[in-house]
């Protein structure tokens, strides 16, 4: 699975520009599903038949990036963030455009560090003039962070773990599931980083009986980190809430029950800031029961996001088990009424 992780996280695919990563995922899932389609917003929808009800799994395939807004006479690029970016994490990092052009981010002279903002940064692509720069890039072109995958053993580091690691989990679950309890709609969504847009469109088109997003979440296990009962290596999380939703209580209990029944280690997650595709799914049409499984991740929205491999393994187990487990208890009431 580590080879697949490397392949997926290193692929290019900022929000709104997901064609290359969609091709990678399509190649991986095609042999294991009954139908594949791409909707108007670029979501990749892979369907595996199993029963009369529909369960939608959403893992966003887009990553954060930067969009060129201005090219000065010396060939330096100004940019706007595509997704949430902090200037503190960008200086000295490299970016890569879809055509392979690489640049380095640096900053203007500052009186004090507190003056560092995104509009004080620029990208140097090695051009001397605006005309030279225009031979490589243009206004509106989008670049992703350019950083390789690193295997530390049980810990893995790369750009775009958010949310490509969830894409890997969904791919692996589709490979492993043998007796799906319902029709599975595995959706690799677009434009999550700029407002959960792909998931909203996909959920409207599919109208699932249940929606489960797979994403990363922050941790509370680094020095003087925010107080949060989530750590690397203690299993994937079952979310209770984030800024985009309060997870449907019966869905959360259903996910916990599946984890317990299959002996899968998991954690409970209360995320104070940040959202997921489940927030869009839950508010689609007349409302859809929704939950989230997250992978603990350090240094989210940086060039070096870190996850624990065992959390990924257990995440695959949990999503596969959910695919094969019928709805129970209060959740059955939501689905059948």
Alpha-helical segments (H) within the chain: 2-9, 19-29, 130-134, 161-176, 197-206, 249-261, 277-282, 309-323, 329-336
Q: Is-catalytic flag, 192?
A: yes
Tell me whether strands 54-60 and 183-189 are parallel, antiparallel or unpaired: parallel
DSSP symbols for 162-187 = HHHHHHHHHHHHHHH-SS-SSEEEEE
188 close to 26: Cβ distance less than 8 angstroms: no
For residues 215 and 206, is the Cβ–Cβ distance under 8 A? Answer: no
Options 10, 18, 63, 192, the catalytic residue: 192
The answer to whether residues 318 and 212 touch, using CB atoms and an 8 Å cutoff, is no
**Quick check: 68 and 77 in contact, CB under 8 A?**
yes
How far is the C-alpha of 42 from the C-alpha of 190, rounded, in Å? 6
Residues 6+ apart with CB under 8 A from 187: 43, 44, 45, 46, 56, 57, 58, 59, 198, 199, 202, 206
Active site residues: 192
């Amino acid at each position: 699975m580590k080879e697949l992780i490397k392949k997926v996280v290193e692929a290019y695919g900022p929000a709104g520009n997901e064609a290359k990563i969609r091709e990678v995922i399509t190649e991986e899932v095609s042999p294991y599903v009954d139908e594949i389609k791409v909707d108007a917003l670029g979501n990749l929808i892979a369907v595996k038949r199993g029963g009369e009800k529909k369960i939608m799994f959403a893992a966003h395939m887009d990553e954060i990036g930067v969009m060129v807004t201005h090219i000065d006479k010396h060939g330096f690029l100004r940019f706007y963030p595509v997704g949430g970016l902090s200037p503190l994490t960008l200086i000295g990092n490299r970016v890569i455009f879809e055509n392979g052009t690489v640049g380095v981010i640096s900053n203007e002279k500052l009186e004090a560090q507190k003056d560092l903002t995104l509009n004080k940064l620029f990208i140097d692509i090695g051009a001397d003039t605006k005309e030279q720069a225009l031979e490589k890039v243009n206004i509106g072109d989008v670049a992703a962070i350019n950083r390789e995958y690193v295997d530390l053993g049980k810990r893995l580091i790369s750009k775009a773990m958010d949310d490509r690691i969830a894409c890997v989990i969904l791919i692996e679950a589709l490979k492993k599931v043998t007796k799906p309890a319902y029709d599975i709609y595995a959706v690799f969504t677009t434009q999550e980083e700029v407002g959960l847009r792909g998931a909203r469109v996909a959920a409207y088109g599919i109208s699932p009986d249940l929606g489960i997003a797979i994403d990363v979440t922050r941790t509370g296990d680094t020095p003087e980190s925010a107080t949060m009962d989530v750590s690397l290596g203690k299993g994937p999380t079952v979310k209770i809430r984030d800024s985009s939703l309060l997870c449907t209580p019966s869905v959360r209990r259903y996910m916990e029950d599946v984890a317990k029944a299959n002996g899968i280690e998991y954690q409970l997650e209360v995320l104070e800031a940040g959202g997921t595709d489940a927030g869009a799914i839950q508010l689609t049409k007349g409302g859809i029961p929704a939950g989230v499984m997250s992978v603990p991740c350090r240094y989210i929205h940086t060039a070096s996001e870190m996850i624990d491999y065992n959390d990924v393994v257990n995440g695959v187990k949990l999503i596969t088990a959910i695919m094969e487990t019928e709805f129970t208890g209060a959740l059955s009431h939501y689905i059948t009424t």
